[in-house]
Chain A
Amino acid sequence: NAGVTQTPKFQVLKTGQSMTLQCAQDMNHNSMYWYRQDPGMGLRLIYYSASEGTTDKGEVPNGYNVSRLNKREFSLRLESAAPSQTSVYFCASSEISLRQETQYFGPGTRLLVL
């Protein structure tokens, strides 16, 4: 039971390059999330997916796209990377019910855009 996994762990991009961050969970959760974490800013929600087949914008969606490939996988794409997207990206999943609201986080992807 791996929980939430993310790939890659580290990535360096040049401005204008594109890349996709991968996330997968094996807990059969309906909901998945992408956050970015910057120093002094806490976690900010980029996009989320309440269930398979749905995605919605969070607080900071500009410059990103997402795909909920199936129940397990939720990817984040940067079409044209900018230095302002240098950050640590976390994927999370959860099962929302009356008894359970905990989010489970992946280990993060550290992205540097030059």
Chain B
Amino acid sequence: SQQGEEDPQALSIQEGENATMNCSYKTSINNLQWYRQNSGRGLVHLILIRSNEREKHSGRLRVTLDTSKKSSSLLITASRAADTASYFCATRRGGSYIPTFGRGTSLIVHP
């Protein structure tokens, strides 16, 4: 069963625009991670945010976490065609070290 659900399911933008995708989850978590999957490849870890953190940055990535709303957002600024991929959130609940993945957001960045 999916703990996290990404929204939107698909997103299409032009190069240079910002891309925002969201993740909502149901139960309290220890941390939330974002992964990227290029077509035909395995997932690659992007960023982890802990439950006591509200915002983290990594290069062009900005992740926010709102535990009161049980939601997180991933912002990719100044997107590039190479950012075209699927993006997954993964949540880890207390008592389990295994993350649960959502269904993903498919991002297409047009050059």
* Real binding pair: yes
Contacts A41-B103, A42-B102, A59-B1 given; does A101 touch B48 at CB 8 Å: yes
Complex CA–CA separation, A36 to B102 (angstroms): 13
Residues of A within 8 A of B (CB-CB), count: 24
* Nearest CB of B to A68, in Å: 15
Question: Inside 8 A of B97's CB, which chain A residues have their CB?
Answer: 31, 50, 96, 101
Complex CA–CA separation, A105 to B36 (angstroms): 11
Contacts A42-B102, A96-B97, A101-B97 given; does A106 touch B88 at CB 8 Å: no
The answer to whether A104 touches B45 (Cβ under 8 A) is yes
Q: Is A12 part of the binding interface, using a Cβ–Cβ cutoff of 8 Å?
A: no
**Interface size range of chain B in the complex:** 20 to 34
Q: Is A83 part of the binding interface, using a Cβ–Cβ cutoff of 8 Å?
A: no
Residue of B nearest to A33 (CB): B98
The answer to whether B31 touches A108 (Cβ under 8 A) is no
* Nearest CB of B to A97, in Å: 10
Complex CA–CA separation, A80 to B82 (angstroms): 40
Question: Inside 8 A of B69's CB, which chain A residues have their CB?
Answer: none
